[in-house]
A = this chain, B = another copy of it.
Amino acid sequence: MNEKIKEILSWYKNENPGTIRNLYNILMHGKLGGTGKMVILPVDQGFEHGPARSFAPNPDGYDPVYHVKLAIDAGLNAHAAPLGSIQTIAREYAGQIPLILKANSNEALSRNPDPIPAVTASVEDALRLGCAAIGFTIYPGSINFKQMYEEIREIALEAKRNGLVVVIWSYPRGSSLSKEGETAVDVVAYAAQIAAQLGAHLIKVKPPTDHIELEEARKVYEKYNIPVGTLAERVRHVVQSAFDGKRIVIFSGGPAKGREEVIEEIKQIKEGGGFGSIIGRNSFQRPKEEALDFLNEILKIYMEC
């Protein structure tokens, strides 16, 4: 094991060997194996936004098999999806790439200003389907936070008992936050801290903007001159907010956008000490060859030392 991986694993030394093994598998898999960086393919948009909105741009994506193959062919570290998708591919691709079972999902057919996803899969599902990790979304800022944090407490405890890795998607939302505030740097940093305190091994947040949402926080950012002017600086602050960098924090890409824009974002994430990216719509909504080429470019950025 190289020093980088040894260092990362040292942050989790309280965990069972089962969990360490699965975390090691994710860290060592694919083209970024052993670099301490990771890129993950998440495909829960069919559930969260609807099938046509997710897959019409590249109809091959209606098939869950397409995604696991894409993740394998691109040499990514892991693939995350809800129960139904994982069920479809788990046996055939068992062992070929670490799988993250997304254990809760929201739907876009009803609206809730303080959203709370449905828990749609369990640790038992993850174990019987051979997954390496369980994934869970929390919405810090929702008045329903108590229920979500207690759900993940139970799922995380059971996951750790059984040697799984716990991945938390920490996406601030709720009636107390402005739309802009959902990606404000103070709020994203806070979201990373909460995920870390809830016991996550891997934390996924959105790239933060330079907006500051909370009045009490603004005073502190100004008084202590915390640098948040560039995305790299903000990424560095978010990573620091997750136990001073002792948790793996990765960043999502959001809605599909121009290739150059994404590449620039990745460079800044890397510069800021982010541990990697989770690239969904920006990969699977492109034709496969283009997606592979694009993902390769991203991986190369992370591979540079």
Give the residue among A82, A109, A145 with the most B Cβ atoms within 10 A: A109
Judging by beta carbons under 8 Å apart, are B141 and A216 in contact? no
A52/B109 in contact, CB under 8 A: no
A17 at the interface (CB under 8 A from B): no
Q: A46-B193, A51-B189 are in contact. Are A62 and B243 (CB under 8 A)?
A: yes
The answer to whether A190 touches B50, judged by C-beta atoms less than 8 angstroms apart, is yes
CB proximity to B under 8 Å, residues A214-233? 214, 216-217, 220-221, 223-224, 226
A53 interface hit (Cβ, 8 Å): yes
Task: Tell which of B108, B145, B148, B157 touches A125, judged by Cβ atoms closer than 8 Å.
Answer: B157
With known contacts A47-B193, A84-B200, A52–B153 Cβ distance under 8 A:
no
Q: Could you pull out 26 A-B pairs where Cβ atoms are within 8 angstroms?
A: A14-B88, A50-B186, A52-B241, A53-B216, A63-B246, A65-B246, A82-B197, A84-B196, A84-B200, A85-B243, A87-B199, A88-B243, A107-B145, A107-B194, A109-B141, A109-B145, A109-B172, A109-B177, A109-B190, A110-B142, A110-B176, A116-B146, A118-B145, A120-B149, A120-B199, A122-B157
The 3 A-B pairs with the shortest beta carbon distances in the complex, nearest first, are A63-B244, A118-B149, A109-B141
- 20 other contacts beyond A47-B193, A122-B157, with CB at 8 A cut-off? A13-B92, A14-B91, A50-B193, A51-B189, A51-B190, A51-B241, A52-B224, A56-B223, A56-B224, A59-B240, A62-B241, A84-B196, A84-B199, A88-B243, A109-B145, A109-B187, A110-B175, A119-B149, A121-B153, A125-B157
